[in-house]
């Protein structure tokens, strides 16, 4: 099957970072840039150098360090912007200046105070100046979807003849409908008659159509898609890189197009950007949401266990995940429960499985999240401590402004008193570091949450933690009027559960 290459232009570090609350410092931008290089995007828009000294520094450092992708910098159609972008990009072996104006009368009259003719003239001059720094120049006219099409043809033809090699057609305000946007791209491809031009698209998500519009544009002749990791960006965000890339790969039969993105790096990129910006990914987000490959329905779980493609159109491994997530909840079936119990070393068939399944269903009605330790306790009347458990004795914490938090923890284990002094970035971190040292464990802390269990100023604080060890998770709670003590109790209870789980896994023949 013949497929045309679609270039992926990532603008996470420029348009994505403009999202309120998503600003990154230079170190964070470099970390994202390294991951984008591993992702093998074709073009990486590193920033807007004229915007601030920090943006200039980030673009310059990325241009100096990152190899592989074309490094792009944004500039308005002004001499100082383009000079600044050219200077920032100097170290890059492959560089692009991306200069932009507007195409709609709404923008030209209300914002830029330019006539159409003045805008065309300034745009041509800007492109010619950019060509003095690099032969790779991209030009964008904002708000094309509310612009006069004949004027766009005139404007884009002029800048292409001046040296622009990529013409970007932004749906700046997310106004377009896919059929309409596809028609616009087809019109420009047919009427801007300058050989060798690549048409690009940059869609915003104000109506939730950014990915759909970008895909419609590909069908109409666009050969570059501009997008961001997790779809972050101004207002409702941009076209999501992971969604448009996986749509093109999964439906290559339909689009007759290919991308060179290393898709197994997608999940890693998503989590990195989420972590550095503090912008959480919604669980039902396509491709990278925590539920994207999760199945709770018994019918779905049964199908996936028999043949993954019954309910999965792409494999979790294709985006960097190890496996599907069979979520155990009230909708789950016997097949999924039996598989997880088998993983835990528990053999259950026939009447025993029926008994455990009924107990599991009752538990699922009461408890939202069911962990491995819950499953191993299904057959027990109540949870009991094993003699190998650690017992909490005392806690002393020293912290304050300008002081590195320090704590002293005393535990008892098999009749012996254990004591250790530790530090951390905060009081809770210091407690958990100290307890990990005392218990000689290195479990990952997945979740830490706290709430008031009772009312009033003397309320008991209830802390819930979830610990992780490879592919096992346990949850535990601790309560106390001192939230630090509650935090310590919850963590220690989880450590004890995980230790029991490790001991029991593979050694049980029935619960």
Burial label for 243, CB within 10 Å (0-12, 13-18, 19+), is buried
Coil vs helix vs strand at 207: coil
> To the nearest 10°, the Cα dihedral for 143, 147, 152, 154?
-140
According to the model, what pLDDT value does residue 510 have? 29
Closest CA to 137 of 159, 169, 104, 170: 159
411 vs 420: CA distance, rounded Å? 9
1 vs 10: CA distance, rounded Å? 27
Coil vs helix vs strand at 406: strand
Question: Is the Cβ–Cβ distance between 121 and 108 less than 8 Å?
Answer: no
Closest CA to 288 of 270, 305, 273, 302: 270
For the stretch 265-300, pLDDT in tens is 999 999 899 888 888 888 889 998 877 776 656 677
Q: What is the DSSP letter of 508?
A: -
* Better pLDDT: 309 or 495: 495
**353 C-beta neighbours (distance < 10 Å), count:** 18
Residue pointed to by tokens 């106390």: 480
Tokens of 17: 């970072």
Q: Residue 75: phi, psi to the nearest 5?
A: -155, 140
Q: Could you tell me the domains of the chain?
A: 4-277 (3.20.20.70), 294-376 (no CATH), 390-504 (3.30.160.270)
Query: Cα(first)–Cα(last) distance of the chain, in Å?
Result: 54
Q: Taking the model in full, what pTM does it have?
A: 0.69
For the stretch 358-411, pLDDT in tens is 888 887 786 666 766 567 666 443 334 455 789 999 999 998 888 899 999 999
For the stretch 108-131, pLDDT in tens is 999 999 999 999 999 999 999 999
Question: Is the Cβ–Cβ distance between 322 and 316 less than 8 Å?
Answer: yes
Residues of the chain above pLDDT 90, percent: 63
How does residue 507 score in pLDDT terms, banded at 50, 70 and 90? Answer: very low
Sign of CA dihedral 357, 360, 364, 370: negative
Does 322 score more than 70 pLDDT?
no
82 vs 86: CA distance, rounded Å? 6
12 vs 75: CA distance, rounded Å? 16
């Amino acid at each position: 099957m013949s497929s045309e290459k679609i270039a992926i232009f990532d603008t996470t570090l420029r348009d994505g970072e403009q999202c309120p609350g998503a600003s990154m410092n230079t170190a964070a931008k470099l970390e994202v840039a390294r991951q984008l290089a591993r992702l093998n995007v074709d073009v990486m828009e590193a920033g807007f150098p004229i915007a601030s000294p920090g943006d200039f520094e980030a673009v310059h450092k990325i241009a100096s360090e990152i190899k592989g992708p074309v490094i792009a910098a944004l500039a308005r159609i002004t001499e100082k912007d383009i000079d600044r972008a050219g200077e920032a990009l100097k170290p890059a072996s492959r560089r692009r200046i991306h200069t932009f104006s507007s195409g709609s009368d709404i923008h030209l009259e209300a914002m830029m105070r330019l006539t159409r003719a003045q805008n065309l003239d300034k745009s041509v001059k800007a492109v010619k100046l950019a060509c003095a720094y690099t032969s790779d120049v991209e030009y964008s006219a904002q708000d094309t979807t509310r612009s006069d099409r004949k004027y766009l043809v005139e404007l884009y033809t002029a800048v292409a003849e001046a040296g622009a090699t990529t013409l970007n057609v932004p749906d700046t305000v997310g106004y377009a409908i896919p059929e309409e946007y596809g028609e616009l791209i087809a019109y420009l491809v047919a009427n801007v008659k300058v050989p060798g031009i690549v048409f690009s698209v940059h869609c915003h998500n104000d109506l939730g159509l950014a990915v759909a519009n970008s895909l419609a544009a590909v069908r109409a002749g666009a050969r570059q898609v501009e997008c961001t990791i997790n779809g972050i960006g101004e207002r409702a965000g941009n076209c999501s890189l992971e969604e448009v890339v996986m749509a093109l790969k999964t439906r290559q039969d339909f689009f007759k197009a290919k991308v060179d993105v290393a898709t197994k790096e997608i999940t890693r990129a998503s989590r990195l950007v989420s972590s550095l910006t503090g912008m959480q990914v919604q669980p039902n987000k396509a491709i990278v949401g925590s539920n994207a490959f999760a199945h709770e329905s018994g019918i779905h779980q049964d199908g996936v266990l028999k043949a993954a493609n019954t309910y999965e159109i792409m494999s979790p491994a294709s985006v960097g995940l190890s496996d599907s997530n069979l979520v155990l909840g009230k909708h789950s079936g016997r097949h999924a429960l039996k598989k997880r119990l088998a993983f835990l070393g528990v053999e259950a068939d026939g009447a025993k499985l029926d008994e455990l399944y009924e107990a599991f269903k009752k538990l699922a009605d009461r408890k939202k999240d069911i962990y491995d330790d819950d499953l191993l306790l299904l057959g027990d009347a109540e949870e009991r401590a094993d003699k190998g458990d650690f017992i909490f004795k005392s806690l002393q914490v020293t912290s304050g402004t300008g002081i590195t938090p320090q704590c002293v923890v005393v535990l008892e284990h098999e009749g012996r008193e254990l004591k250790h002094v530790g530090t951390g970035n905060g009081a809770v971190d210091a407690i958990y570091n100290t307890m990990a040292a005392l218990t000689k464990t290195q479990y990952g802390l997945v979740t830490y949450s706290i709430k008031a269990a009772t009312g009033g100023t003397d309320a008991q604080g209830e802390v819930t933690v979830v610990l992780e060890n490879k592919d096992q998770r346990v949850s535990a709670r601790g309560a106390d009027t001192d939230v630090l003590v509650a935090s310590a109790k919850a963590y220690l209870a989880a450590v004890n559960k995980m230790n029991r789980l490790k001991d029991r896994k593979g050694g049980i023949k029935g619960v």
